[in-house]
Structure 1
């Protein structure tokens, strides 16, 4: 009896220590996972019973109005807008509740990305799968068809895909090459977002970006008509639609700065950058206050050529070490070393989580509900175009 009692207590403790998943902002397509088709102005704690059998969340990928969730067991759950087949459920309908992607059940999925209306997945064997809207070739299957179940990108067979990044109507993949990491692009290229050094309407087969020869790329990022990559030595490369009103760039350009960046979050008109010292800087425009109040910000580091976008510190974060960053279409989110979430920018759908639909020009604190101040937690944040999600887990010493 004592052993049973101890076991029951242990189970209860483990239950109490389970992760929490929160969402807020635009929700009319079911992308918040609450089961309701409405916007939420404050963070909502989700009930995800389907996770109990497949493990904890290891990654969320948020798109135009849909979400992909990877679990520690290599499974995939999706929810939200599915009218282009981007949920991978073999049908083109929305889903307000998380559902397993059954066609990927025999694979161990390690990476995923959500675009505007398409999705990409990578398995531990290095295979890439895509589904959803393919009308710009962004699925990489050599045609312009859409698919409602994930289809393997045959062009990339045996090449060892590491990551995939989905933008508005284009996709990037990161491979491990012999001389360095290889990056490929496919889909819409009107704004230069494919990085293939020429203006092209669209391509439906992955094409290599040769500027990365000899560069060790650690991550690729895509959003809107923008593309970016981070290298192992902390350099940021950007291409596609220009930031801050600058012209489009058709091949990757390295940001001229001595700073070492560990993470980049790309919006439609701006980029957030996290340095190795836990400082956040921003590159790009200020529409809807997405980058703070430009009248109160003093110019900091500039790109090499005059007239290019300005790199500046985010105001109001002095004295904080930043642990994570995320960017929606035109809003920004950060997590401090004390586990505090702060948001600013476009707030029309409640994506700032502040209880209103107002824009904010400086970081504002978001509350995820009561937790003991002595209880250490880790928070990861993710942004869709007009919504935000957070995963809070107990800190394991």
Structure 2
């Protein structure tokens, strides 16, 4: 399995500058074409925040490495933090904390602290260990902002959890979806813009069996058992895959500039045609989006204002804000409808996983020749590992 990255690279979280490759993507703020991550062949996991990427390498001698902000900073502002990850099963990264899950404990380290001990830790029994699926932990979940640990009611029987900029979306073992937090952009899916202090079921999805959830800055996405994709929340940059007035207006202005005087030759100008369309700024209820007519969605991930989905046939689709090339279409254009990333198709790569940072995207793929099959099931990453990991 090979990992690729594209999008925001100001802190070298995708590729590290090398003197011998002054003309390469390394060191560029924007990476518009997928670039293969060095030394990421084999089983591994990627976790990403706005300025960092954490890579968990899996195998007999596993290790966790950090790329991006603080990875190469001297100790002028930060003291070195050494985390012994021997036996580590999973890891999660935010702008301020690194969380590592072990078979017998969970540790969360403050990356901006000079302390030589975790800022928070939890001991676990053998039975609790099977329930760890970061950011979920026994009895609650790990927040991206202090306080690190937040409790959850046991009656929810949480299966997975996704944290957005100001909200959370939880999937239960029964396939029900709950959301809570700020709702100012409709990201909770309850039909309004009110905040919810406690988990509340998304009634529009009640009775449907949902298998995965994802949260962006101010939007939410989930995938049903049948591979259907449901979206809700803010659509300012087209991140829901629904018509966005801002994007269409920008496209129209570019067309007007190119067309010039042609408008006067017709009875209907582009402005009039634009006004006839229905645009979505905020989608407060879940809406069904048809990503690919002939394919089901296998997995999905959200950035701050963009979305990426992998089909069961191994194709990657992206849409939303593309200012830093995070859509992978070799441009910085934003899109309000899903578009296939042709790079992987041309390279004959079967995409198996996708992880979005706030402004970038990381994708795992396998050569189709290696698979020897036209269609293969989604591959699940395996977590084991050990080694000493040192960062800022």
TM-score (norm 2): 0.70
Measured at CA, do residues 149 and 131 of structure 1 come closer, stay the same or move farther in structure 2, by a change above 3 Å? farther
| Aligned position for 1:130 | 109
* C-alpha distance in structure 2 between counterparts of 1:350 and 1:336, whole Å: 21
* Per-residue Cα deviation, 1:302-336 (whole angstroms, up to 9, x for no partner): xxxxx982101124422211111110000000111
> Is the Cα contact below 8 Å between 1:243 and 1:270 reproduced in 2?
no
Equivalent position to 2:201, from 254, 268, 273: 254
| Aligned position for 1:157 | 123
> Is the Cα contact below 8 Å between 2:103 and 2:124 reproduced in 1?
no
* C-alpha distance in structure 2 between counterparts of 1:372 and 1:292, whole Å: 26
| Aligned position for 1:168 | none
Equivalent position to 1:32, from 14, 22, 25: 14
* C-alpha distance in structure 2 between counterparts of 1:250 and 1:221, whole Å: 16
> Is the Cα contact below 8 Å between 2:47 and 2:53 reproduced in 1?
yes
> Is the Cα contact below 8 Å between 2:13 and 2:51 reproduced in 1?
yes
User: Map of 1:76-155 to 2, 5 A cutoff?
Assistant: 76-82=64-70, 91=75, 103-105=83-85, 107-133=86-112, 146=113, 151=118, 153-154=120-121
* C-alpha distance in structure 2 between counterparts of 1:117 and 1:47, whole Å: 25
Name segments (4+ residues, structure 1) moved above 6 Å. 295-299
TM-score (norm 1): 0.70
Compute the displacement of 1:42 (Å). 1.1
Compute the displacement of 1:185 (Å). 5.7
SS in 2 for 1:32: coil
* C-alpha distance in structure 1 between counterparts of 2:346 and 2:97, whole Å: 36
* C-alpha distance in structure 2 between counterparts of 1:47 and 1:385, whole Å: 21
> Is the Cα contact below 8 Å between 2:52 and 2:67 reproduced in 1?
yes
Measured at CA, do residues 372 and 41 of structure 1 come closer, stay the same or move farther in structure 2, by a change above 3 Å? closer
Compute the displacement of 1:116 (Å). 3.2
RMSD over equivalenced CA pairs, Å:
3.2
Question: Greater Rg, structure 1 or structure 2?
Answer: 2
Measured at CA, do residues 338 and 298 of structure 1 come closer, stay the same or move farther in structure 2, by a change above 3 Å? farther
> Is the Cα contact below 8 Å between 2:217 and 2:304 reproduced in 1?
yes
Number of equivalent positions:
312
> Is the Cα contact below 8 Å between 2:306 and 2:320 reproduced in 1?
yes
Does structure 1 residue 21 correspond to structure 2 residue 9? Answer: no
Equivalent position to 2:55, from 69, 72, 77: 69
* C-alpha distance in structure 1 between counterparts of 2:44 and 2:300, whole Å: 16
> Is the Cα contact below 8 Å between 2:175 and 2:209 reproduced in 1?
yes
* Per-residue Cα deviation, 1:80-116 (whole angstroms, up to 9, x for no partner): 112xxxx59995889xxxxxx96324x2222222223
* C-alpha distance in structure 2 between counterparts of 1:219 and 1:250, whole Å: 19
* C-alpha distance in structure 1 between counterparts of 2:194 and 2:147, whole Å: 25
* C-alpha distance in structure 1 between counterparts of 2:76 and 2:67, whole Å: 12
Measured at CA, do residues 116 and 308 of structure 1 come closer, stay the same or move farther in structure 2, by a change above 3 Å? same
Compute the displacement of 1:124 (Å). 2.4
> Is the Cα contact below 8 Å between 1:60 and 1:69 reproduced in 2?
yes
* C-alpha distance in structure 1 between counterparts of 2:57 and 2:372, whole Å: 18
Measured at CA, do residues 243 and 88 of structure 1 come closer, stay the same or move farther in structure 2, by a change above 3 Å? farther
Gaps of 5+ in 1: 1-18, 95-100, 134-145, 166-172, 176-181, 189-202, 300-306
| Aligned position for 2:214 | 265
Equivalent position to 2:312, from 322, 334, 337: 337
User: Map of 1:312-331 to 2, 5 A cutoff?
Assistant: 312-331=287-306
* C-alpha distance in structure 2 between counterparts of 1:68 and 1:121, whole Å: 11
Equivalent position to 1:46, from 29, 37, 40: 37
Compute the displacement of 1:254 (Å). 1.2
| Aligned position for 1:390 | 363
Equivalent position to 1:275, from 180, 203, 224: 224
Work out which structure has the larger RCO, using CA pairs closer than 8 Å and 6 or more positions apart in sequence: 2
Measured at CA, do residues 205 and 65 of structure 1 come closer, stay the same or move farther in structure 2, by a change above 3 Å? closer
Measured at CA, do residues 337 and 346 of structure 1 come closer, stay the same or move farther in structure 2, by a change above 3 Å? same
* C-alpha distance in structure 2 between counterparts of 1:253 and 1:292, whole Å: 25
Higher strand share: 1
SS in 2 for 1:388: strand
